[in-house]
Amino acid sequence: MPRGPCAAASLRPSSGGLGGAAVCCAQAHLCAEAARWVSAAAAATLMLATGTTVRRSLLVPLFALQAPSSTVSLIKGDYGRWIAFVGILLRLFYSIPGELELPLSTVLLVMTAPYQFMDSRESQGGAILSAAIAIYLTFQHFNGVGSLRRAFRRESIIATVSIICLIFFLQCPY
C-alpha cells in the first residue's frame, strides 16, 4: 500500500470536480517552488557571505539553475533590463565593490541566457548539474574551513548553513 501525502490524496474519493491526483501535483509543485526559493536565497547569501572558501563564480550558474520561475521572469523582463542598465552604468563610471560583482553577473547571465539553457532548469540534466555544483561547493567549503567544528564557528556559520540549505533543498525530481 503506498504511503505519503500523495498516496492519501489519490485514495480519497472524488466528488465531481478535481480528482485526488490534482491535489497531489499541486502540493508537489508548491514544495518544489518553496525549495527553489530556499535554494536561491542560500546561493544569494553565499554570494555575499564572508568566512567561506568556495569559488563564488560557481554560484552564478547555480542561482540561474535553481531560481524560482517568478524571479527568472522578473529578471528577463523590463525590471531585469533596468537593473542591468543601471548596474553597467554604475560600473562604467564608478568602482563597484567586489560583493556586488556577482549579483550583477547573475542578472546579466539570467537575462541573456538562451531559452534552451533556461528550459534545462526543469530537466533532469539541470538537476544533475545543480547537484554537481552544490556538492563541489560543499566539498570546497568544508575542506577550506578545515574541520566540522571550525565550520560552525561564528565567522563561518552563515556560509555553512547556506551550504547545508543548498544541499538539503536540491530538488532532483522534476
Residue spans of the domains in the chain: they are 35-168
Q: Is 0.85 surpassed by the pTM of this model?
A: no
Cβ neighbours of residue 92 closer than 8 Å, sequence gap 6 or more = none
Sign (positive or negative) of CA dihedral 37, 134, 110, 172: negative
pLDDT per position as a tens digit, 8-53:
444 444 444 444 444 444 455 557 778 888 888 888 888 888 767 7
Average pLDDT of span 149-153: 84
pLDDT per position as a tens digit, 79-123:
888 888 888 888 888 887 777 788 888 888 888 888 777 777 777
- Vertex 130, ends 56 and 140: CA angle to 5°? 45
User: Given the C-alpha cell 531559452, which residue does it identify?
Assistant: 115
